[in-house]
């Protein structure tokens, strides 16, 4: 290919590229011109609409003004005719002026609409206003009326339902024991497994050894037993450890002087003290008792609000501080006075959660008790324990018992734990009974502890 041919090709390529560039530039110019024309048309249309809107609003303003003037003249029929004509003339002139101002100065739409609302309100008839007042009155009263108090579930119904729930909780503790004890010939390893199972279930070392010794003695006497007989033997031994005949009643009855009964709730953080206090109030209301709640947990911001929510559902008043961080003993004192003034049957005082190794906080519990006792004797101190904490709960129980004198235990979250043996160990160590158990998150999922139902639940019956 010679030089002239190459040059020709290059020139042709340059011409093609130039033509493409020119076409692109021309297309962009046409597009920009069309966009400008469209914007201009839109602006013109918008201006036309705004002008029409302004005129329409001015007309409506004039009509409303004339209507107001006519109503005023009708109410003043005793005025001379000359004054009436003068008022109408002034009204017409005002409407004309409004129209002129609206068209010439372009008053904003917001101002015009505000004027229309004011004029329309002026032209309302007394009959309309009276009708609106009558219509709104009952609605306001209905909105202000308090919601009716809930009716909590009764004690017997709770026991039946919670017993059924415990039996369905698939507690592996009883199943493991039953699986070993139904073997034909138990070896030494089997007996060690039984003891380990009991200890892992937080029954406690001493109680576990005692149960194993009794089972060994029974096995020597009755070498061959059916599964039903084995289960009956195990049930009897567990009931003995739990304490079937132990008095678990709450001291919630008035004394001879007709004083309200006082219950103080204590425990570490996160065990569910406030929730248990609210559920306990529901239980007492279901029994027909009048209750006052004292929100002496002044450290957790939402504690008093939470307690008020529980109380509002069943019509129970709550005494609380007016600010966070207030002296809890002062709140407890005020709650005691409120219970006396209200002639309540029971006062339940919720306290702040605290670690058992904080000596100053534990001393504060003693102060709360002493202050309350200046008004009323304290009948119950319930330690709220989380069943899932296991043997750590025993350490908590001992320290709280020394600080304030625990009289009973409320065991929460029992349905979500394989550590049910803590019922046995806490009673043996402290000498105080488990009085309440929680088996769920429902408002009525708290009931008096039922030893037979608990053991049957462990064994899967």
Condensed to tens digits (0 to 9), the pLDDT of residues 320-360 reads 998 888 899 999 999 999 999 999 999 999 998 887 667 77
Say yes or no to pLDDT of 117 above 50.
no
pTM over 0.95: no
Within a 10 A sphere around the Cβ of 198, how many other Cβ atoms?
A: 25
Q: How many domains does the chain have?
A: 1
Q: Does the annotation list 457 as a binding residue?
A: no
Q: Does the annotation list 408 as a binding residue?
A: no
What is the pLDDT at residue 453? 81
What is the pLDDT at residue 165? 66
CB 190 within 8 A of CB 183: yes
Can you tell me the distance from the alpha carbon of 71 to that of 65, in angstroms, rounded to the nearest whole number? 10
Residue 144 forms part of a structural domain: no
Say yes or no to pLDDT of 239 above 50.
yes
Residues 65-79: tens digit of each pLDDT: 545 444 544 444 344
Measured in degrees and rounded to the nearest 5, phi and psi for residue 179 equal: -65, -35
What is the pLDDT at residue 443? 86
pLDDT band per the 50, 70, 90 thresholds, residue 442: confident
Give the mean model confidence (pLDDT) for residues 287-301.
92
Buried b (16+ CB within 10 A) or exposed e, 150-183: eebbeeeebeebbbebbbebebebbebbbebbee
Q: Does the annotation list 273 as a binding residue?
A: yes
What is the pLDDT at residue 101? 34
pLDDT band per the 50, 70, 90 thresholds, residue 83: very low
Q: Does the annotation list 272 as a binding residue?
A: yes
Contacts of 270 (CB under 8 A, 6+ apart): 353, 386
Which of the listed ranges 193-207, 286-300, 358-372 does the model predict with the highest average pLDDT? 286-300
Say yes or no to pLDDT of 259 above 80.
yes
Mean pLDDT, the chain, integer = 74
Q: What is the dihedral of CA 31, 35, 40, 43, to 10 degrees?
A: 170
Burial group, residue 119, by CB count within 10 angstroms (0-12, 13-18, 19+): middle
Residue 80 forms part of a structural domain: yes
Q: Does the annotation list 353 as a binding residue?
A: yes
What is the pLDDT at residue 167? 61
Q: Does the annotation list 316 as a binding residue?
A: no
What is the pLDDT at residue 356? 65
User: Among 320, 329, 334, 321, which Cα is nearest to 277's?
Assistant: 320
Which of the listed ranges 82-96, 137-151, 199-213, 342-356 does the model predict with the highest average pLDDT? 342-356
pLDDT band per the 50, 70, 90 thresholds, residue 383: very high
Residue 3 forms part of a structural domain: no
Q: Does the annotation list 271 as a binding residue?
A: yes
By residue range, what is the domain housing residue 68? 26-122
Measured in degrees and rounded to the nearest 5, phi and psi for residue 124 equal: -65, 145
Say yes or no to pLDDT of 384 above 90.
yes
Q: Does the annotation list 350 as a binding residue?
A: yes
Residue 209 forms part of a structural domain: no
Say yes or no to pLDDT of 240 above 80.
yes
Rounded alpha-carbon distances, angstroms, from residue 120 to 67, 361, 405: 10, 66, 73
CB 344 within 8 A of CB 291: yes
Q: Work out the angle between the directed axes of helices 392-404 and 422-430 (0-180°, nearest 10).
A: 30
Q: Does the annotation list 450 as a binding residue?
A: no
Region of 253 (left: φ > 0; alpha: ψ -120 to 50; beta: rest) is beta
Q: Does the annotation list 269 as a binding residue?
A: yes
Residues 158-186: tens digit of each pLDDT: 667 666 666 655 566 777 887 888 887 78
Q: Does the annotation list 411 as a binding residue?
A: no
Residue 34 forms part of a structural domain: yes
């Amino acid at each position: 290919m010679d030089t002239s041919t190459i040059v020709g090709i290059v020139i042709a390529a340059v011409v093609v590229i130039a033509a493409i560039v020119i076409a692109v530039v021309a297309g962009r110019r046409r597009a920009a011109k069309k966009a400008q024309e469209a914007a201009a048309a839109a602006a013109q249309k918008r201006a036309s609409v705004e002008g029409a809107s302004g005129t329409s609003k001015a007309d409506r303003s004039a009509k409303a003004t004339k209507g107001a003037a006519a109503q005023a003249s009708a109410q003043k029929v005793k005025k001379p005719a000359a004054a009436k004509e003068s008022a109408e003339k002034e009204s017409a002139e005002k409407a004309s002026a409004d129209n002129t101002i609206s068209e010439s100065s372009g008053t904003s739409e917001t101002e015009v609409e505000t004027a229309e609302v004011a004029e329309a309100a002026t032209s309302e008839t007394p009959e309309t206003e009276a009708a609106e007042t009558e219509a709104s009155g009952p609605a306001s009263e209905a909105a202000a009326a308090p919601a009716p108090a809930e009716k909590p579930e009764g004690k017997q119904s709770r026991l039946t339902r919670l017993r059924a729930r415990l039996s369905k909780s698939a507690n592996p503790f009883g199943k493991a024991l039953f699986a070993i004890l139904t073997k034909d010939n138990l070896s030494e390893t089997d007996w060690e497994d039984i003891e380990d199972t009991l200890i892992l279930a937080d029954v406690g070392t001493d109680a576990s050894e005692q149960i194993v010794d009794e089972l060994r003695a029974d096995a020597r006497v009755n070498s061959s037993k059916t599964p039903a007989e084995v289960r009956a033997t195990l049930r009897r031994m567990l009931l003995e450890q739990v304490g079937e005949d132990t008095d678990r009643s709450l001291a919630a009855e008035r004394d001879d002087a007709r004083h309200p009964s006082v219950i103080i709730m204590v425990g570490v953080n996160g065990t569910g003290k406030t929730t248990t206090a609210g559920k306990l109030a529901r239980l007492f209301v279901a029994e027909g008792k009048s209750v006052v709640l004292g929100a002496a947990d002044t450290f957790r911001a939402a504690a008093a609000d939470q307690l008020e929510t529980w109380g509002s559902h069943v019509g129970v008043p709550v005494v609380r501080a007016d600010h966070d961080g207030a002296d809890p003993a002062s709140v407890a004192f005020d709650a005691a006075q409120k219970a006396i003034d209200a002639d309540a049957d029971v006062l339940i005082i919720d306290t702040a959660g605290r670690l058992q190794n904080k000596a100053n906080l534990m001393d504060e519990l003693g102060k709360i008790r002493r202050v309350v006792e200046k008004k009323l004797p304290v009948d119950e101190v319930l330690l709220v324990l989380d069943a899932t904490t296991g043997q750590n709960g025993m350490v908590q129980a001992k320290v709280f018992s020394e600080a304030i004198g625990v009289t009973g235990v409320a065991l929460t979250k029992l349905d979500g734990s394989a550590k049910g043996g803590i019922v046995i160990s806490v009673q043996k160590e402290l000498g105080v009974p488990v009085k309440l158990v929680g088996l769920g998150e429902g408002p009525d999922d708290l009931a008096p502890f039922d030893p037979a139902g608990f053991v049957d639940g462990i064994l899967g019956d």
